[in-house]
Structure 1
């Protein structure tokens, strides 16, 4: 019961943690705080990380959230467009941990017989949550920042060479067309499609990103237009082939 109380205390402190996090980033003149678009993304990540720490403490096992890796990778790629160095994200993780310390101490105090264990479990959950996000974010950043190849697209060691003409590979042009279409999507459009893949309704998506349902519908409409499709199922099949 004391661990549940500690977990609830941590959840209750989320707004306080986020406020302290923003203040610390602002003092450091981090573009993650001074740019509104970047801060909205950081705030969303911070809230989720705190929630995952609380849930891990409550259940006693690591939290697995669908779509977090893909979101983090897209966000890392978007940092290139925002011209925000990846080192800012690494530093922000440490700043967030510092911002959580008072709340972590209060939560641990609710489990006097397990104070040290509670603090350690929160620390482990935090490192797991931020480590995965940073890893995927750095991957996305590096892929987006990679010099363009001969065709003007990023070179990738993971992408197989295009078959020679006459090799029987008839799907390459279609695959290229799909890839180019996906590159036209904004980060928010991709975020919303990722939420659709999780099975969220427009109302749930609007709550997650703190936007109106009308705005969700507008982003979906724009994404559908760019992808040349007209339904959620088609969007998932085209955006996440083999995963929807």
Structure 2
């Protein structure tokens, strides 16, 4: 049988997958399944994830769906107003994967015996990639929506004039900014995003897929971030950028 037939098996099984998905979420008492507004959004995401897995199986590469990141980010922010914790989305991803197991096994069974394991691994890899991208953007949106509004900065203090007795006196009680804080502030948005992905344990290849850039570009961003932070390894990057939050 062809990869097209295996992909079509996944597509045909979508309704059964979604039904099993909601049933298990309900059993767990997840508000994603018990509230109609949240379920409509959750179902939409799940259907698209299954479709992307099917297309990857058929063509050998994940589908390029426009607007997935922005939708997921907005949805993450909306979860705050719905009062649904972001942990529910993380749990739902695992529930969806379990709901897909029977269909994934059935799709692989349509392939020659020597290719079945590889096909199952391909479905798994695609699932982790496309759900990971959605979860990442959703968590970003959730965190942005819950982040306190920054206070209005105090007016700058004019330094005291120099006197004949010595150098200018310091104005206010502030001191030189923390060098580590300055280094973190110097990071670009993309460098911060990639360091956040490193924190999740993603490899350079997985990061390149998430942001749809080459591995060489990932390495370049990491090199630049390491240089700014005065470090030379992933472990040092995590300690320096996220140590206080862990």
Structure-2-length-normalised TM-score:
0.60
Q: CA deviation at 1:112?
A: 2.8
Instruction: Provide, for residues 131-177 of structure 1, a one-character-per-residue CA deviation record: whole Å limited to 9, x for no partner.
Output: 000000000000001112337xxxxx99xxxxxxxxxxxxxxxxxxx
Which residue does the alignment assign to 1:117? Answer: 118
SS in 2 for 1:63: coil
Alignment of 1:140-155 (within 5 A): 140-150=141-151
Q: CA deviation at 1:66?
A: 0.8
Take 2:62 and 2:43, find their aligned partners in 1: how far apart are those partners? Answer: 22
Alignment of 1:63-212 (within 5 A): 63-113=63-113, 114-150=115-151
Unaligned runs of 5+ in 1: 152-156, 159-244
Which residue does the alignment assign to 1:21? Answer: 21
Runs of 4+ aligned residues of structure 1 deviating over 4 Å after TM superposition are none
Select the structure of larger CA radius of gyration: 2
Unaligned runs of 5+ in 2: 153-183, 186-246
Q: CA deviation at 1:64?
A: 1.8
Q: CA deviation at 1:16?
A: 0.3
Which residue does the alignment assign to 2:42? Answer: 42
Instruction: Provide, for residues 98-148 of structure 1, a one-character-per-residue CA deviation record: whole Å limited to 9, x for no partner.
Output: 000011111111003311011011001100110000000000000001112
Which residue does the alignment assign to 1:61? Answer: 61
Take 1:115 and 1:105, find their aligned partners in 2: how far apart are those partners? Answer: 9
Which residue does the alignment assign to 1:226? Answer: none
Take 1:76 and 1:112, find their aligned partners in 2: how far apart are those partners? Answer: 41
Structure-1-length-normalised TM-score:
0.61
Take 2:129 and 2:80, find their aligned partners in 1: how far apart are those partners? Answer: 24
Take 1:115 and 1:82, find their aligned partners in 2: how far apart are those partners? Answer: 42
Aligned pair count reads: 153
Take 2:40 and 2:62, find their aligned partners in 1: how far apart are those partners? Answer: 26
SS in 2 for 1:45: helix
SS in 1 for 2:61: coil
